[in-house]
Amino acid sequence: MALIECRALTRKYTRGETIITPLDGLDLDVEAGDFLALMGPSGSGKTTLLNLIAGIDRASAGTLRIGGIEIGTLSRGRLADWRSEAVGYIFQLYNLVPVLTAYENIELPLLLHPLSRRQRHEKVATALALVGIADRSDHYPRQLSGGQEQRVAIARAIVTDPGILVADEPTGDLDGASAAAIMDLLKQLNSELGKTIIMVTHDPKSADHARRTLHLEKGRLIEQTTVAAR
């Protein structure tokens, strides 16, 4: 059984009198430990699929099963609990709290868990070390480069040790060198820690780091590319 199973997954919403269908009957399996890149034009359903997998949005039809749990059947409270345990989200624009230090931003997700201050400190320290910015823990976002901010965002996403990481254009706001460094980090999290990663990107160089690339158009899968060897 795949870790993530999408069957006839559909998302619709209305804009005025118009029905918009960003995702239209998608079938997809993602195995544990996969690194999947989602590509396609704007409006093709990439971020919609990401948000459904992350439990941020709900499907209009079809089923989404993750780790044997049918996400669409969970109550709002149970879905929030599941999301805090199972998924880490990496945003293009980092979404860091500007008045908090790097350490405090990373610690935020842990405040939802019954952990002691010492336990939180140990987890934050581990996450900081993994992303290579332990020496920036007391810096505020405005004192960091874009690449360093994204490392803080990645540390925040992994600090609860989720099995799944979803990333929405994680290199979209970075220069070439910083983007390459972030993709190397994601590749390391996948290959060495076994994180399952689903990443939206418009950058072919970033997609080359993934094991598979899916191309979406108008909410449907139109092409799949698999990397034979890495």
Q: Is residue 46 part of a domain?
A: yes
Report helix, strand or coil for 177: helix
Tens of pLDDT, residue by residue over 156-213, are 999 999 999 999 999 998 999 999 999 999 999 999 999 999 999 999 999 999 999 9
pLDDT of residue 15: 86
Length of the chain: 230
Asked if 22 and 200 touch (Cβ cutoff 8 Å), the reply is no
Asked if 209 and 35 touch (Cβ cutoff 8 Å), the reply is yes
CA within 13 Å, CB half, 211: 17
CATH of the domain at 204: 3.40.50.300
Q: CA-to-CA distance for 219 and 13, rounded, in angstroms?
A: 13
Say how many domains are in the chain.
1
Is the predicted pLDDT of residue 121 greater than 90, yes or no? Answer: yes
pTM above 0.85? yes
Q: Is residue 131 part of a domain?
A: yes
- The mean pLDDT of 78-101, rounded to a whole number, is 94
Reported confidence tier of residue 225, pLDDT bands at 50, 70, 90: confident
Q: CA-to-CA distance for 142 and 166, rounded, in angstroms?
A: 25
Q: Is residue 77 part of a domain?
A: no
pLDDT of residue 224: 73
**Strand intervals (E) in 31-118:** 35-39, 61-66, 69-70, 87-90
Locus of tokens 């499907």: 59
- The mean pLDDT of 106-133, rounded to a whole number, is 96
Q: Is residue 143 part of a domain?
A: yes
Reported confidence tier of residue 88, pLDDT bands at 50, 70, 90: very high
Q: CA-to-CA distance for 137 and 125, rounded, in angstroms?
A: 9
Q: Is residue 20 part of a domain?
A: no
Domain that holds residue 216: 33-56+87-226
Is the predicted pLDDT of residue 227 greater than 70, yes or no? Answer: no
- The mean pLDDT of 117-127, rounded to a whole number, is 97
Q: Is residue 18 part of a domain?
A: no
Q: CA-to-CA distance for 112 and 122, rounded, in angstroms?
A: 16
- The mean pLDDT of 140-152, rounded to a whole number, is 96
Q: Is 187 exposed, middle or buried (0-12, 13-18, 19+ CB in 10 A)?
A: middle
Q: Is 104 exposed, middle or buried (0-12, 13-18, 19+ CB in 10 A)?
A: middle
- The mean pLDDT of 94-107, rounded to a whole number, is 97
pLDDT of residue 229: 46
Q: Is residue 45 part of a domain?
A: yes
Q: Is residue 61 part of a domain?
A: no
Indicate the pairing of strand 164-168 with strand 87-90.
parallel
